[in-house]
Amino acid sequence: MTRTFRSGTDRSTLRSESLPLGVPNEWVWDRIQFDANEFKETSLSWAIAGIATVVYLLFCLIADRRVLEANRWEMAGWLTGLVIVGAVWHGIAQDCPPDPHRLSKTGWVLWYRGIQGYYEEARGRASQEPDYLAKYADRMREGDVLHFGTHPPGFILLHKSIIGFVTRFPKVQAWLLDSQPDSVRAGLDVISEHSARSAMPLTQVDRAALWLSALLAALAAMSTVVPLFCLLRRTCGREVAWRVVCFWPLIPALAVFHPVSDLWLPFAGTLFLATWGRAWSHRSVLFGLLSGIVMFYGMRLSLALLPVAFLDAAWTLADFLVGEATESLAVRSRELAACVVAALASFGLLILLTGWLTSLDLPAVWMQNLRNHAGFYEKYSRTYSSWLVINPIELALAAGTPIFLFAVSTWLSGTKGSLRSGRSLASFRLWCFVTLAVLWLSGKNSGEAARLWIFLLPWLLWVSGREPEITAKIVNGPGQTLPEYTGTPARGWLLLLVLQAIVCVATVSRVDGFHFRTTVPIPVAAEK
């Protein structure tokens, strides 16, 4: 197995020119090019990333020795630490490639309309028009097939809130300005120079708000480890769950595409899976209500939460029909109905409340978003067969080949006989694969799958959580709800973490996730 991972890593890092990064004349991710001076600078950044990786591994290993004996408060502390340490490593990895692909990109990604434009919309029309939300559904009917036409207003409102927060608290604004790395400050200086004579010049509030938006995007992405850990704990012990979530900060797509809005979606999607999973497994109406609330706020951001809902519905139905249970079918039917009604009630109530308070017709917006998304492929043709081949490659590059290969091997070994055994049809691994297969075969993500599928990358780690088949002492520590397997060697896990970190840094250093040479009018990009 290690030889397979090493081979996959070598191909990703040493032969990246031979890997297809899209379909020519339809969509291709640009490769970052180096001259001699840039290579020297990048080599120094690689050395710093190597030191940061050692520190990250030490943190993971120290926590690994504690997780079996830790109580819930200590475990929460280790997960919080993983979010922080992971975010720091994430930032260091992003500073490896040359400009304009370093952390200096954060301001450009958020500011320029050519990439997404949510910040510009929040600062402009959303702040100036009192009836902005009331007219949002009508605006969607204009038929835009890009970001605005295919998304609800959640990210616009998020940026509007960030701008308002920074404006309201000058001391926070000052701290944000002082804490910016030099590369971020230099990137914002370029924006300031270009926008000085425009209708929307860059202000000090913008500098602070853009940096805060970038920090929050990284924090949201890293915070995915918490609901992911909870999901893993349903099927495996603490040691395995901890070791699996340690891979999340090393996912290449999180660094390549930071701080794009898609980085918020893994947390929202995984939190919904965790809350609904808790609702169904514990027959909890309270968690049913919470899952509806999580789904509502996720759907305000993006319709990418729909496949997550499909996965949960399919897995729950399979578990209801063929899963192990001590209750009768009638009892389970009532329990399932109570949880579903609770989730739908909170979801529907928030839709009605939003319409009453803001006149925002969310169902109309969502339906028009779907129509506009379908219109994208009428305007920008795609070759179905080509993307059928390319999308799995993009998924592997987005996740990192070590994680991708490990997830595939775990899925294959963990779902043998799924179609022959009725009970194993309730396996979440099977339904993760079914949902991913439906997305893949539908052809609805023909282009940019590495970014568009960020929301489902936690699933690859979820299916990788499997207890090793060893003879070991079983203990029950403080606050634990499942038996734990102790004495599992850490060498293979650490080696896989190292390989994943190498692949992540190599991918960040070679893949341009924003087409800086063609999309964004940055002099630095044009000169290279």
Tens-digit pLDDT profile for the chain (528 aa)? 444 444 444 344 434 466 678 888 888 888 888 878 888 888 898 999 999 999 999 999 999 999 988 899 999 999 999 999 999 999 999 999 988 888 989 998 999 887 888 999 999 888 888 899 999 999 999 988 888 889 999 999 999 999 999 999 999 999 999 999 988 999 899 899 888 888 889 999 999 999 999 999 999 999 999 999 999 998 888 999 999 999 999 999 999 999 999 999 999 999 999 999 999 999 999 999 999 999 999 999 999 999 999 999 999 998 888 877 778 888 989 999 999 999 999 999 999 999 999 999 999 999 999 999 888 888 888 899 999 999 999 999 999 999 999 999 888 776 665 555 555 666 788 899 999 999 999 888 888 889 999 999 999 999 988 765 443 444 444 444 444 444 467 888 999 999 999 999 999 999 988 887 665 555 544 344
22 - beta bridge partners? 28
Q: What is the 3-state secondary structure (H, E, C) of 172-230?
A: HHHHHHHCCCHHHHHHHHHHHHHHCCCCCCCCHHHHHHHHHHHHHHHHHHHCCHHHHHH
pLDDT given for residue 524 in this prediction:
46
Packed helices 36-64 and 491-510: angle between N→C axes, nearest 10 degrees = 150
52: tokens are: 């940061």
pLDDT given for residue 420 in this prediction:
54
From residue 250, alpha-carbon distances to 78, 109, 438, 508 in Å are: 17, 21, 27, 11
Assessment of whether the complete model's pTM goes beyond 0.85: yes
pLDDT given for residue 423 in this prediction:
54
Q: Are 82 and 63 in contact (CB under 8 A)?
A: yes
pLDDT given for residue 421 in this prediction:
52
What distance in Å separates the CA atoms of residue 272 and residue 254, rounded to the nearest whole number? 20
pLDDT given for residue 358 in this prediction:
93
pLDDT given for residue 479 in this prediction:
46
Q: Are 107 and 182 in contact (CB under 8 A)?
A: no
What distance in Å separates the CA atoms of residue 65 and residue 76, rounded to the nearest whole number? 15
Burial class (CB in 10 A: 0-12, 13-18, 19+), 442: exposed
pLDDT given for residue 418 in this prediction:
53
DSSP for 78-136 reads: HHHHHHHHHHHHHHHHHTSSPTTSSTTHHHHHHH-TTTT-HHHHHHTHHHH-TTTTTTH
pLDDT given for residue 440 in this prediction:
92
Q: Which amino acid type is present at position 505?
A: V
Q: Vertex 255, ends 35 and 85: CA angle to 5°? A: 120
Q: Are 138 and 169 in contact (CB under 8 A)?
A: no
**Element (DSSP H or E) covering residue 286:** helix 285-301
Give residue limits of the domains in the chain.
104-468+490-519
Burial class (CB in 10 A: 0-12, 13-18, 19+), 29: buried
pLDDT given for residue 520 in this prediction:
56
